[in-house]
Amino acid sequence: MSAFRSTVARLRNLFRSDVPDHDLHAELEAHLQLHVDDNLAKGMTPEQARRHALLKLGGVEQTKQAVHDQRSLPFFESLLQDTRYATRLLKNSPAFTCVAVITLGLAIGANTATFSVSNTYLRNPISFPEVDRVVAVLNQAPDQTSGWSSVTSADFLDWRARAHSFEAIGAFDWADLNLTGIGEPVKVQGYRVTANFFDVLRASPLVGRSFVNGEDQAGHAPVAILSTSFWRRQFAADPAIVGKIVRLDGVPTQIVGVMQDNVRFPLAAEIWLPLIFSPQEQTQRTSHALLPIARLKPGVSMTQAQAEMRTIQDGLRSSYPQQETGWTVLLMPLGEFVAGPGRGYMFLLLGAVAFVLLIACTNVMNLLFARSTGRQAEYAIRVALGASRWRLVRQALIESVLLGMAAMLVGLLLGDWWSYLIRAAMPPDIARFIPGWDQVRLDRGVFLYTFLIALLAGIIAGFVPAFFSSSADPNNALKESGRGPGMSVSRTRLRNAFVVAEIALSLVLIVGASLMVKGLQSLLALNFKYDPQAVFVFRVSLPASRYPQPQQQNTFFENLAENLRHTSAGQTTAVAYQMPFAGWDTDSFRLEGRPLSPGEYQDAYINRVSPNFFDALHVPLIEGRAFTDHDAAGMVPVVIISESIATHFWPQGTAVGHRIRQGDDNSKEPWATIVGVSAEMNYDPWRKDAPPAIYFPLRQRPVSTASVFVRSSLDPKALVPIIRTAVANADPDQPIFDAMTLDRMISNDLLGLSYIAVLMSAVGLMALVLSAVGASGVMAFAVAQRRQETGIRMALGARPQDVLRMFVFSGLKLLALGFAIGLPLAVVLARLISSLLYGVQSNDFLSFLASAMLLAVAVVLACYIPARRASRIDPIIALRYE
């Protein structure tokens, strides 16, 4: 307690320590007087009395200093002193301070913005109690090296029966539903979930109740739970919603509850229904569609649970070798599962902005170095007067940390603005699929992060210059101070090393940015051949209750296409089960007479299309023919495969005529004859190793949910009413959804990638500018420093172009070194990006060359300007120059 009180008192005094110690002075004076009085009383003469008293008192100044030290905290006091001094110095050189603060501020701002976006995305994409104990329990297909696969219903039931690591294990499955009975029919994003799904998440209802045991058993009356946002939007937050009956896909369903607003899992969920397994589903081990999630028991670690699941999977493998061979179980924290493939890119961006910060630090380091060289004499005098080396280092560090703190303010402002821009540019119908997007803000974590990187940046930028300037030998420095900025060889080397590092880092970033842009371009170029601006897409989902027969579904789509053909809308109308760039349904397949060895796995997007699908999307057929209306039910089953299957299995000769079948060895599907080979289409831009595609004719394989493509020259606005009428003529109860041009749909799918490409480019540009500025600064300094030398050279006959060449050449040497270090690093980054993004090759020579050229031009220009100045020096003036 007393120690605390004393510290408080001293801290208080710290900020008043410049008040002269009047009191103490008077007190010591009084002390002296009292002593003198005593001495006089003892009979001394006045001089003797005073002399004796002074002797006894000892050094008055030492006493004052001792009291002063006790009064405040000497360490902090000198720190404060140094800070005041540093502030004054920075204020006195506003140009230097501005450049340094802006340089650091830009980089810190980029870090703040990126961190604020990625923080929520990576750390809290979803919020549930103890969500870090919740895991997704997934499969990995044989030979699948990255990502995960869904799970079969029989596997899930076995896991649930056998696993002891979990408090609860549930599962969910995607379900597109049509909601009717209240106004216009609407399409609803639903999910079927096991009854314990919300227990696993520890999610609780806002109104009504959660699912109860037994509601996911066959025969139970249909029930549903709404999400808060859907309840607000569709039911105007009706407080009496519980108990109401709605029709979902025609089935009367009772609403039993509304989940709380924070329950956004799966992210786009509007409605949850119980997941009921049919008897076939309970035993099927081939269709991977379920996504199980589980909460770990207290005390059970991920590793333990993973180990248990491995054992269980081993058991299943020996019981069902045919279906389970090669399949493994993968546990993934729910946050990671939700963040999905965007994670890799987020880390990439975070790394990139960290690089930019390093470059900015290097620039400021160089500035500080140049400054400290001009202050050699000052340092020398301080050392000569007894300043310790530590004090000098501290002084310099305080200066750079102050710069860092000022830059932090700039960075926070910029970061806030940038993260606002990033968010504002994201369309809301995409943003709702990005986990945590609406949570992005400058919160405590972001502030702390910004503060820490600003502090670190200040220390990094200041440390090396501080260390070097403090090591000056006062003797030499004072002698040299008369002869302009003296620079030892090691210092010049160090500054050059900074430039080399900058060039290397920039090269890495620019190569990264150009690869991202190139990848995106190649993806977009892929689309141009579909001529996507002229194709309008919408989706229709037919409820099984209304269209129980597959042929009825087919008739609907054919009627719809026919209706559209008779409007002013379109020349070509096509129907497809899956859309390019948004594929999701893959399955395994077999070739006739070519059984798989255990552990081998082959899958493809299974698409079902109308005859003119390839025509409407301008996808060329490489071989064979397209489907016709004669490829109907009851006729010979036919199939079209994509190019890569054909070249893989029939490298010589033709694939046409061979037979192929969807599913595994026990598949009940009929063998279908290959009648054509289509060009490859991209079904998933996020997946580098996206599987090929297999197309079946709709007449032989009808679907209930499909996308309808209309190739039309009409404006989308004019098109929508025509489409609505055509759909209503086919069935007035059917809603259409996701209506937009194919162009828009593709750019929506690629939006995340465009974002990252744009951000990477911005980061690359920043790196380019910063390193050019840095190189220019170092060169300008070298020119100034070698002024006399230049003068002598010119006096001895060097021509201006010789001087120019000399300086530019020294810049080129740095450039070459920077490239030598940067290129291998860039190759590593390129490998990383190419593993993430479709269309990026890590050995993309052209991108490397272009990036290197760009950087080289920038750096040479940056060196040329000061070098030119050097070449115009008048030798007489240069020699006189001190």
Partner 1 sequence: MSPKKDVHQGTLALMILKTLQTLGPLHGYGIARRIEQTSGDLLSVNYGTLYPALLKLEQEGYISSEWGTSDNNRKARYYKLTRAGHKQLARQAQDWTETTAILARFLNEEPS
Stretch that binds partner 1, among 23-31, 422-430, 582-590, 646-654 (CB under 8 A): 23-31
Three-class secondary structure of residue 547 per DSSP: coil
Nearer to partner 1, 23 or 143 (CB): 23
Cα 349–Cα 354–Cα 359 angle in degrees, nearest 5: 125
| Residues paired with 574 in a beta bridge | 709
Decide whether 13 or 522 has the Cβ nearer to partner 1. 13
CA distance 377 to 73: 30
The CA-based diameter of the chain, rounded to the nearest angstrom, is 139
Nearer to partner 1, 69 or 802 (CB): 69
**31 binds partner 1 per the rule CB under 8 A:** yes
Smallest distance, partner 1 to C-beta of residue 64, A: 9
Q: Does 70 bind partner 1 (CB under 8 A)?
A: yes
Q: How far is the CB of 83 from partner 1 (least distance, A)?
A: 24
Query: Residue 529 and residue 525: Cα distance in Å, rounded?
Result: 7
Binding of partner 1 by 44 (CB under 8 A): no
Is residue 212 near partner 1 by the rule CB under 8 A?
Answer: no
Which residues touch 859 (CB under 8 Å, ≥6 apart)? 503, 771, 772, 775, 811, 814, 815, 818
Site for partner 1 contains 802 (CB under 8 A): no
Q: What is the distance between the terminal CA atoms of the chain, rounded to a whole angstrom?
A: 61
Smaller CB separation from partner 1, 12 or 220: 12
Contact with partner 1 (CB under 8 A): which of 48, 63, 555, 644?
A: 63
Contact region with partner 1 (CB under 8 A), list: 65-73, 303-311, 654-662, 711-719:
65-73
Going by C-beta distance under 8 Å and a sequence separation of 6 or more, which residues neighbour residue 235? 182, 226, 241
Measured CA to CA in angstroms, residue 369 lies from 101, 278, 406, 468, 881 at distances of 16, 75, 19, 9, 22
Contact segment (CB under 8 A) with partner 1 among 68-76, 275-283, 392-400, 445-453 equals 68-76
- SS3 for 114-173 is HHHHHHHHHHCCCCCCCHHHEEEEEEECCCCCCCCECECHHHHHHHHHHCCCEEEEEEEE
Contact 502, 818 (CB under 8 A): yes
> Measured from the CB of residue 63, what is the shortest distance to partner 1 in angstroms?
5
DSSP code at position 594: B
| Site for partner 1 contains 27 (CB under 8 A) | yes
Q: Is 62 in the site for partner 1 (CB under 8 A)?
A: yes
Given candidates 26, 212, 448, 876, which one binds partner 1 under the rule CB under 8 A?
26
CA 118 to chain centre: 5
d(CA 470, CA 618): 71
Q: Strand 586-591 vs strand 166-180: parallel, antiparallel, or unpaired? A: unpaired
Part of the chain binding partner 1 (CB under 8 A), chosen from 29-37, 630-638, 705-713, 716-724: 29-37
How many Cβ atoms from other residues are within 10 Å of residue 209's Cβ?
14
Among 20, 43, 58, 797, which residue sits at the site for partner 1 (rule: CB under 8 A)?
58
Q: Does residue number 243 form part of the binding site for partner 1 (CB under 8 A)?
A: no
Nearest 5°: the CA angle 478, 480, 483 is 130
The least CB distance from residue 10 to partner 1, in Å, is 7
- Residue 429 in the binding site for partner 1 (CB under 8 A): no
272, β-bridge pairs: 191, 225
Tell whether residue 2 is a contact of partner 1 (CB under 8 A).
Answer: yes
Q: How many residues bind partner 1 (CB under 8 A)?
A: 29
Q: Which residue in 23, 130, 438, 802 binds partner 1 (CB under 8 A)?
A: 23
CB of 58 to partner 1, least distance (A): 5
One of 38, 130, 802, 874 touching partner 1 (CB under 8 A): 38
Of 56-64, 169-177, 390-398, 781-789, which part binds partner 1 (CB under 8 A)? 56-64
Instruction: Based on the shown chain and the rule CB under 8 A, indicate whether residue 66 belongs to the binding site for partner 1.
Output: yes
Q: Please tell me the distance from the alpha carbon of residue 576 to that of residue 705, in angstroms, as a whole number.
A: 9
Q: Are 166 and 147 in contact (CB under 8 A)?
A: no
20 lies in the binding site for partner 1 (CB under 8 A): no
- Assess contact for 278 and 287: CB atoms under 8 A: no
15, 57, 552, 721: which one binds partner 1 (CB under 8 A): 57
| CB-nearer residue toward partner 1: 41 or 161 | 41
Return the residue of 17, 39, 49, 71 that touches partner 1, per CB under 8 A: 71
Q: Using only C-alpha atoms, what is the Rg of the chain?
A: 37
Q: Which is nearer to partner 1, 50 or 744 (CB)?
A: 50
Written as one letter, the residue type at 329 is V
Does residue 46 touch partner 1 according to CB under 8 A? no
Give contact residues for partner 1 (rule: CB under 8 A). Answer: 2-3, 5-6, 9-10, 23-24, 26-28, 30-31, 33-35, 37-38, 56-59, 62-63, 66-67, 69-71
